[in-house]
Structure 1
Amino acid sequence: MNKNNYKETKYNKPLILQRADPYVYKSQDGTYYFTASVPEYDKIVLRSSDTVKGLAEAKEKTLWVKHEEGPQSIHIWAPEIHYVDGGWYIYYAAGDKDDIWEIRPYVLHCKGQDPMKDEWEELGMMQAANEDEFSFHAFSLDATVFEHKGDYYYIWAEKTGVGKQISNLYIAKMETPNKLATVQVLLTTPDYDWERIDFWVNEGPAILKHNGKIYMTFSASATGECYCMGMLSIDEDADLLDPACWTKLRYPVLKTDVKAGVFGPGHNSFVKAEDGETDLCVYHARPYDEIVGDPLYDPNRHAMIMKVRYDENDFPVFEYQTMEEVFA
């Protein structure tokens, strides 16, 4: 860490150090599971706790390690753990060390019902629908899964175009935990200036449900100080596969705050607190802005946390908070 450029504030104290792309899942029995990208990008880790705060000190277990060569041998990124159709699955992205940007989405399956103790097996790449000629043929990552009205949906980032490609977000309905049932639908592309800094990027989708609405946050631009969070919304009774039913906000909902000492916030997840009512946003950010070299390989993207607040129109508001405020 660049100590000359680091200033601790009451707002930039991490929940978990050096864990980027944090994902927290609350199981039906109330157990919290945490996974994230590690700085080495070489394995998938998991920890569990009865409380969100307890995840900070929970023992971490390595569930899976990258291959020595070929696909899944480098850039193990953004794992998410989900309980789908009666089983535990982890969705993640991985590359090939002989072609390091050959990033594709993969799936692990737990052979038992205890994700911390039971064995995990590889299911290979996520499969597109039979009639889908486009999905997962290019740089694809950051998949998330959610259930709505009895169906499961898969949202992911995939690059398109030639030259310096554009990263868009797509959605499809799922047929099985590792196969899509419908062809991809484009949800959002980098439309605005804040989504186009260094790279044109929409990635890192996360789903929040609240009072008849579904919100999808996402991350935009390159992974340094410019990284930020945008948001789309849709009515819960609308057709989730109709892009015209989604509304995209003109401006980011969370961005760098120099005074707070929070830089490049993004790639978040949402989870209910122990009370079953409070929505928590777990995201990553750095406590400084000046980075030597490629920001992707700076290890100090830490998992941070905030409560989601709602305004007078019942619209989610994202504000930096102290750990004391979050866990009050």
Structure 2
Amino acid sequence: MKAWPNPFIEQRADPFILRHEGQYYFIASVPEYDRLEIRQAATLEGLRTAEAIVVWRKPFTGPMSKLIWAPELHNIDGVWVIYFAAAQTEALDSLGMFQHRMFALICHDADPLTGQWEEKGQIKTPFDTFALDATTFRHQGKQWYLWAQKAPDIAGNSNLYLAELENPWTLRGEPVMLSRPEFDWECRGFLVNEGPAVIVHGDRLFVSYSASATDENYCMGLLWIDLNADPLQADNWHKSPQPVFMTSYEHRQYGPGHNSFTETAAGENVLVYHARNYTEIEGDPLYDPNRHTRLKLIRWQENGMPDFGIPPADTDA
């Protein structure tokens, strides 16, 4: 089994790796939460030492002026798109922490590291509440938008929602809720379903997601649906009653989650995630910078389900 140095990239939480036209692109939250930066390399391993190019910095005021969280980089029909969550300084000061909304940037140039990025503003959903962690994917000939958001009438921080896209920054039709925190392991510290990521294997589409507070309780859950089923029918989705990837006290890996998926040059599926290697966090876990990016191969079981295994221990390399 392939094993990468662990950590793979230090102090980068919410990691996202895109493989596009033979190149690898890396984007993640930075500890300062103040900018968006992209790394590019011809190999997956090359991302470790690739230069981080800043493509956008937050303004001093306005709706995108604070706590830039969990960016993702996508290429939709030849257009580069970055989704990210941001808050307004004034709202945080008056209303408290969870005031984020989702925003989009687009770039029409061939190279997203040197191209011009255009702000498309907030992605509007049926209710104007705390929202974060959007991803997108192509399925059944349509482009989909999958994200986490607080519902006004449901207890907790965030649920998972799915909607079709009219364009990369505009929803089409009514969203459907795919999952809400309901099991004990989704409700430790905070009631959270967030950080969805999509992977297809066999005749199923899978959505991994993260749950609970961002300390050692953080873990990953799993949803899945048959490829031919209507994804806007909530009853077509299945949910694992148990977490599928969680803290390993033996390996000193705490709070693994907020994952994405990529693949090796040979086509092997790779789990991209962050985790800490200690639990003694001073103050708010959000401001502890040592959620490091880590990689792990996925094993597929005979029944077609993924086996994420156990977070491997840190290495010396």
Q: 1:91 to 1:48 in 2, by over 3 A?
A: same
1:197 positional shift: 0.5
Correspondence for 2:165: 174
Correspondence for 1:131: none
Which of 91, 103, 108 is matched with 2:83 structurally?
A: 91
SS at match of 2:158: strand
Moved over 6 A (4+): none
Would the aligned equivalents of 1:270 and 1:282 in 2 still touch at CA under 8 Å?
Answer: yes
Correspondence for 1:270: 261
1:251 positional shift: 0.3
Identity score, percent:
44
Which of 115, 123, 127 is matched with 2:124 structurally?
A: 127
Correspondence for 1:221: 212
Give yes or no for the alignment of 1:20 onto 2:13. yes
Would the aligned equivalents of 1:11 and 1:262 in 2 still touch at CA under 8 Å?
Answer: no
1:165 positional shift: 3.6
Between the aligned partners of 1:85 and 1:243, the Cα distance in structure 2 is 28
Would the aligned equivalents of 2:222 and 2:244 in 1 still touch at CA under 8 Å?
Answer: yes
Which amino acid is the alignment partner of residue 209 of structure 2? F
Would the aligned equivalents of 2:145 and 2:162 in 1 still touch at CA under 8 Å?
Answer: yes
Alignment deviations for residues 190-233 of structure 1 (CA, whole Å, 9 cap, x no partner): 01000000110000000010011101000000100000000001
Correspondence for 1:79: 71
Correspondence for 1:109: 106
Mind listing any 5+ residue stretches in structure 1 that lack a counterpart?
1-9, 129-133
Alignment deviations for residues 30-51 of structure 1 (CA, whole Å, 9 cap, x no partner): 1010000001111111001111
Correspondence for 2:95: none
Over the aligned positions, Cα root-mean-square deviation in angstroms equals 1.7
Report how many aligned residue pairs link the two structures. 307
Correspondence for 1:5: none
Between the aligned partners of 1:91 and 1:281, the Cα distance in structure 2 is 20
Which amino acid is the alignment partner of residue 103 of structure 1? H
Correspondence for 1:64: 56
Between the aligned partners of 1:173 and 1:223, the Cα distance in structure 2 is 29
SS at match of 2:174: coil
SS at match of 1:46: strand
1:119 positional shift: 1.3
Between the aligned partners of 2:213 and 2:153, the Cα distance in structure 1 is 18
1:126 positional shift: 1.3
| TM-score between the two structures when normalised by the length of structure 2 | 0.93
Alignment of 1:1-328 (within 5 A): 13-27=6-20, 29-100=21-92, 101-128=98-125, 134-135=126-127, 137-161=128-152, 165-275=156-266, 277-319=267-309, 320-321=311-312
Would the aligned equivalents of 1:11 and 1:260 in 2 still touch at CA under 8 Å?
Answer: no
1:91 positional shift: 0.5
Which amino acid is the alignment partner of residue 32 of structure 1? Y
